[in-house]
Chains A and B, each alone.
Chain A
Amino acid sequence: MFLPTRLLYIAAFQVILMSIATYFFVTSEYRTLSSQSLQAIDHFLIEQKKQELKNYTSLAVSAVEELYHVKEPNIKEAQIKVAKVLNNMLYNGDDGYFFVYDGEGNSIAHPKEPFRIGKNWWNLENKKGEKTIQILISNAKSGGGFYRYPWFKPSKNQMSEKMGYSVYLKKWNWMIGTGVYLDDVNKQLNKLQNEIDQHINKTKQIILMVAISSIFLIFLLGQLVNISQKKKTDIKINKLNQKIITLQEEEHRYISRELHDGIIQILVSIKYSIEATGIHLSKANIEKPKPLIHAETNLVVAIQEVRRISHHLHPKILDELGLSAALAELSAEFTERTGIAVKVTKPSVRKLLPDYINTTLYRVVQESLINIQKHADATQISIDLSINDKWLLLEIKDNGDGFDMLSYKKKNSPGIGLRNIAERIEYHSGQFEVLSSSKGTCVKVKIPKTSFVNHANKSTIEEV
């Protein structure tokens, strides 16, 4: 089966469509999955931070527990001590510290921003439009809570998102809080997001590569299939061609024989009947009537015409006297018709070849002579038939101005064409070659001796 190019294009188009669909499907799945896992990671990290904050806070609260339970009148003193203790409790480098406000928003302790101490920050509003301190205090009063808000990050010396946790010391109306900056978490998440994007890019490249190589493979396989198919078809066509030529030759031979052995013989016998009639008449002293004379001469013409046609279809000489005699006759006719001298060299033995080789070689010479006459402008031709240890060689040389290879391929040339003959010779395991230059052309045919050895012997022995 031949694969039409259109089919290949459709296949390639399908691969492209599939690749695009796969790409979108895979990346969207990937993105969904990754955003889910990012959320999970985010959640996990935040939870971890929250736990950390709770731990630090409970550590801080237990550190000041003893002072908190001091009774009047030492409370004021204890409060100062606590503020001092908390001021010194730092963790995570510069960014982990505790801050203390009273229930009205007055700053009591703030190790990193001491300018706040002693002032009221109740109405401090952040970028989100929320009152930071009020929310922290309210979270603390409701038993401890988390709140995200923008705040100054000491280590970076800039604003950053912070998650704060605050608890309430009810007896003192104090809020103690601490917080972590979330930019680390965000950085980590961004890094993951980047990695995911890289993965998606990689996937895209792999899909692209697979698609391109698939398309390449489709066309390659298509070509290979077509090439092997073409070979098979060529062989079939060649076989068919040979069959057609064989049939044609057989048909020609049959018609030729029918004409020669049938029609001509009948015509000849009629001729003798007319002659006998003439003799009868002359014996009876009657003059031959003119129509009878006319019939006799016309009959001779008819016989010659039929003979010519029969000979043209299939030269009987080929079967009866063999190839070399047939070639000699063919050349003599050619010389007579065209005035071009033909020299034939042939071996002393004859009837060496089976019919199909005989006929093929005869047609080679016939076609070559036609070509020479039409194209070569030659004055001398030599036809050499010889036998060496392996091959029967047939060479037709002329001294013309070279053979146009194109014209020899032309379809409108008469006869079965040299090209067909070449195929026919190769089909019978022979070799065919045309060498042409401005000095002349040489058509060479080689037939392996194995295809005719013993043929002459068999046929002649059987005949006797």
Chain B
Amino acid sequence: MTHFNVSNNKISVLLVDDHPMVQGGLIACLSFYDDIEIVGSTEDGKDALNKALELKPDVILMDISMPFMNGIDATEIITEQLKKTKVLIFSMHASLEYVTSAIQAGASGYILKDISSEEVYLAIKTVFQGKNYFSSAVAKMLIDNPPKNENEKLTTREQVILSHIAQGHSSKDIAGILNISCRTVEAHRRNIKAKLNIDSIAKLVLYAMDHGLIQH
């Protein structure tokens, strides 16, 4: 409890958690730290997108299990659009699959809800500085099972873009539909091709059909 910096450059934090009581408890705890300012809070992933674009916070504390859109999918879209905003996953789920999915989606850190508020504060500070933060149980998991690059799974966003490609939409169309830049779509496209080890559009369409993403 030594971080009572008198600074005008407070870290702006957006709280995304579907339970108001958790939000309340966390806000109460974090309010003791002067270099952190809770600029907003919301209870579902979809609203988090709007709030993030509106507030452009430094750090988003993101729960995973939420209505309408889960935290991982929301993270992917937010990090795609707000390069400066760091997402720190704040979840009950202590399993490798969640952690790797979150990292894939672009999260800078992953902490479990059973850690102390002091550690939460520490994590926020760490990701704000551009580093990664994983609470001890998560870090242990990652050390035991280092994420592999080969045969990586597509993220939700990539899968959505793949279905659009398979339906014959151009990058420009997709950019319009998803309200993102053409360059971002192109980047996703490259990632998809790399992950699936496919080099032509025709084969992408075939792959999407084969896996039941679109109908024949």
Contacts and interface: CB of A to CB of B under 8 A. Distances in A.
Interface of A: 260-261, 264-266, 268-273, 275-276, 279, 282-283, 300, 303-304, 307, 316-317, 320-321, 324-326, 328-329, 332, 346-352, 387-389, 392, 449, 452-457, 460-461, 463-464
A464 B210 contact: no
B25 A272 contact: yes
B96 interface: yes
B65 A269 contact: no
Contacts of B125: none
A348 B196 contact: yes
Interface stretch (B5-13, B53-61, B128-136, B149-157): B149-157
A349 B19 contact: no
Contacts of A453: 212, 214-216
B212 A272 contact: no
B160 interface: yes
B187 to A, nearest CB: 17
B159 A269 contact: no
A392 B212 CA distance: 9
Nearest to A320: B70
A389 B21 CA distance: 48
B69 interface: yes
Contacts of A326: 97
Contact of B154 (A276, A317, A348): A348
Nearest to B97: A325
Contacts of B32: 276, 279, 283
Secondary structure type dominating chain A contacts: helix
Contacts of B24: 269, 272
B92 interface: yes
A328 B96 contact: yes
A392 B213 CA distance: 13
Interface stretch (B34-42, B81-89, B112-120): B112-120
10 contacts: A269-B21, A271-B114, A272-B22, A279-B32, A317-B93, A317-B98, A348-B152, A387-B211, A388-B210, A454-B214
B28 interface: yes
Contact of A264 (B68, B92, B118): B92
A320 B64 contact: yes
A279 B1 CA distance: 8
A321 B162 CA distance: 18
Contacts of A324: 153
Contact of B159 (A268, A300, A350, A392): A350
A463 B212 contact: no
A352 B153 CA distance: 13
Query: A-B pairs with the 8 shortest C-beta distances?
Result: A272-B25, A265-B19, A269-B21, A325-B97, A269-B25, A453-B212, A276-B28, A457-B163
A321 B98 contact: yes
A261 B18 CA distance: 8
B122 interface: no
A317 B102 CA distance: 13
Contact of B160 (A304, A329, A346, A460): A460
A366 to B, nearest CB: 15
A445 to B, nearest CB: 16
B134 to A, nearest CB: 17
A266 B160 contact: no
Nearest to B68: A463
A454 B212 contact: yes
Contacts of A307: 92
B195 interface: yes
B113 A268 contact: yes
B77 interface: yes
B156 A279 contact: no
B117 A272 contact: yes
A456 B213 contact: yes
A214 B19 CA distance: 75
B72 interface: yes
Contacts of A269: 19, 21-22, 24-25
B26 interface: yes
A279 B25 CA distance: 13
A272 B153 CA distance: 36
Given A268-B113, A273-B25, A324-B153, A389 B98 contact: no
B95 interface: yes
B72 A275 contact: no
Contacts of B26: 272
B201 interface: no
B213 A276 contact: no
A325 B18 CA distance: 23
A272 B159 contact: no
A282 B28 CA distance: 15
Given A264-B92, A457-B213, A463 B18 contact: no
A350 B154 contact: yes
A271 B70 CA distance: 24
A209 to B, nearest CB: 63
A342 B1 CA distance: 45
B101 interface: yes
Given A265-B22, A268-B22, A348-B154, A303 B196 contact: no
Query: Taking each of A320, A350, A461, which has the highest tally of chain B beta carbons within 10 Å of its own beta carbon?
Result: A320
B48 to A, nearest CB: 13
Contacts of A350: 153-154, 156, 159
B212 A452 contact: yes
A454 B163 CA distance: 9
A455 B21 CA distance: 35
A306 B185 CA distance: 41
Contacts of B195: 348
Contacts of B22: 265, 268-269, 272
Contacts of B154: 348-350
A297 to B, nearest CB: 10
Given A321-B72, A460-B156, A464-B77, A268 B25 contact: yes
Contacts of B64: 320
Nearest to A454: B215
B160 A461 contact: yes
A216 to B, nearest CB: 55
A172 to B, nearest CB: 130
Contacts of B113: 264, 268, 303
